[in-house]
Structures are given as structure tokens and as C-alpha cells.
Amino acid sequence: MTDAAEASRFALVTEPHRRELQVHCYRMLANYDDAQDMTQETFLRAWRKRASFEGRAALRTWLYRIATNACLDFLEKRNDRTPVPVEGSEVAHLQPYPDRMLPEDPLDAAVARETIELAFVVAVAHLPPRQRAVFVLRDVLGWPASTAADALELTLASVTSALQRARVTMREQLPDRRLDWRSPATHALSDAERGVLRAYMDAHERNDLDGLASLLRDDLRFAMLPDPGTVTVGARDAVDGWVSGGLFGPGMDDWRAVATTVNRMPAAALYRRAPDDPEYRLFALAVLHVVDGEIAELTGFDATDKPWLGLPATS
């Protein structure tokens, strides 16, 4: 077989796994750009190691093993970007994951909504790298302990110990969440989430301060990344802070909002028009965690210069 024919055959059997591997790398790294890079690194390593694939394990398992170790190698080098807890919940390098880049199979347990939401990704990022890998392989992907141990070149005892410690941290980070990650979970937004998102966008576009405040829980958790810091703030205090910051309120810039989803969560792409600009320009992405019809968490991301979000630059 010629090199070109072998490369073509290799791509044919491995490319169908690209999206799920990228989600796996994202869970390990909490950053979309880094996940893309490590997915590509996975395919490069797989190509170089293709002769060692003996078929005893499934191709998918073999690729996940390579991807996991590529991420662990990357994390060892990311000492200057290690997660920095802020009130126990924030990760400085966190990026959203566009739903359009998720695997197309809606029943794929590897991308169940509860394991791709921001709170889950942040909680995983607080685990040390080896615990992180064990937890994702065992509790998210459902691998047997022996398979995870083989992939990570650890003993069964080490895997069991790492998983126990990881579960303790996950319970601390997500005290109010269901922790059986392998159970079936819905992917679709609820009617309540859609309704809150519509109301949020409408209030934002009309500069309706009272309307916006009425949507926020009084123990709202708010972050605007990449700026460091997550704060718990009252609804009115949050709105007043946005007004005093010059971002929102009567007489300020005009806004236009477009509904989207990232991390299988409701989100609004916010377009800002300055008084001297005829165009509404993409400014931020507001991701909402809705609980009982109110916004419990609002995470904002700088949306400029991120074409992978799939959002037009102007509206």
C-alpha cells in the first residue's frame, strides 16, 4: 500500500471520531482552542503509532487513550495557566464550547448535557491532572477500572484511589447537582430556559433595568471572562454594577441579542452599537444557568475574534 493510500485509509477510519475526541480534550482542558490543538496532536500521535495498533482494543478506545495522554502532557506544560479558584468556582482559561461542534448523535452519552455544562467543566478543572483523567474515563465515559489503568499506565489500586478523591472534590464543587454522570440526561433546553433567555434578551435590548433585575436570583453568581473573579451578588447590585461600568442602561450603547446555545446551555450573543457606529458588533456571549425560572449563574465571555463560535461579526 502506498503512503498516500495508507494515509487515506487512516483518515477514513479515524476522522469519524474527531468531534467526540475534541469534546474529551475540552473536558480535560476547559479551553476550546487547546482542545482543538490536542485533538490534532492526537491524530498525529495516532498516525505515528499506527503500526502499534494491534486491534486488541477498539479503535475508539485506542484513540481516547492517546488523547488522554496528550492532554496530560499538555497540562504538565501549562504551569503558568493552572486553574486559579475564585470563591471555589472559577477557571481563568475557561472557554465556551459551541454546540454546533458537538457530535451529531443526540444519544451519545459522552456528550450528555450535564457533563458538558460550564459548572461541570469548571469542577473537573479543579482536579489534579491524573485524577481528572481517571474521573473522566471512569465516571463520564464509563470505562472499566482495568481499561483506565492500562490507558494511564497506573495500577488498579491507584485508579481506585484517584477516583475516590476525585469524587469527593466533585461533590464539593457541585453540591446541588446529580452526580451519576453515566445516567441518561436530556440534551434539549427546557421551555423555562427558552422563556428566560427570551426575556433576558428582550430586557437587554430595551435597556429595561427592572426587567433584567427581575430575572436574576438574589444570590446570582456572575463572572466575565477572561477577567478573573466570580462574585455572588444581588440582582439589583448586579444590574447597578453593569450600569456603573458603562455597559448597560438608558443613554448607553444600543444592544441587539441573538439566541444561541453553548455547552448545551442557553446563551445570548450580545451585539453592541456605539452612538457613532451604524453597525451592531459582536461583543460578548452571555451563558445562563436557569434554576426555577431565574438566572442563578451568568457567565460572560469576550466573543470578539473567536470565529469558532460560529457567530457573525455584525448583526
Phi-psi region of 306 (alpha: psi -120 to 50; beta: other; left: phi over 0): beta
Q: Could you tell me which of 242, 163, 244, 261 has the C-alpha nearest to residue 203?
A: 242
Q: Is residue 113 part of a domain?
A: yes
Give me the number of domains the chain comprises. Answer: 2
Q: Could you tell me which of 233, 243, 288 has the C-alpha nearest to residue 262?
A: 288
Q: Rounded CA gap, 23 and 62, in Å?
A: 16
CATH code for position 215 = 3.10.450.50
- Are residue 107 and residue 203 in the same domain, yes or no? no
Q: Rounded CA gap, 213 and 222, in Å?
A: 13
> What's the pLDDT at 109?
53
- Are residue 222 and residue 292 in the same domain, yes or no? yes
Q: Is residue 182 part of a domain?
A: no
The tens place of each residue's pLDDT in the chain, 315 residues long, gives: 677 778 888 888 899 999 999 999 999 999 999 999 999 999 999 999 888 776 666 999 999 999 999 999 999 987 644 444 434 445 778 999 999 999 876 556 566 788 899 999 999 999 999 999 999 999 999 999 999 999 999 999 999 999 999 999 999 988 777 666 655 555 678 999 999 999 999 999 988 888 989 999 999 988 888 776 667 777 778 777 776 666 666 666 789 999 999 999 999 999 999 888 889 999 999 999 999 999 999 999 999 999 999 999 998
Q: Is residue 180 part of a domain?
A: no
Q: Rounded CA gap, 216 and 295, in Å?
A: 5
CATH code for position 128 = 1.20.140.160
Q: Is the dihedral of CA 136, 138, 144, 148 positive or negative?
A: positive
Q: Is residue 181 part of a domain?
A: no
> What's the pLDDT at 80?
42
- Are residue 160 and residue 198 in the same domain, yes or no? no
β pairing state of 230-233 and 254-262: unpaired
**Domain range spanning residue 158?**
3-173
- Are residue 136 and residue 252 in the same domain, yes or no? no
Q: Is residue 186 part of a domain?
A: no
> What's the pLDDT at 184?
52
- Are residue 162 and residue 49 in the same domain, yes or no? yes
The x, y and z cell numbers of residue 199, run together, are: 426575556
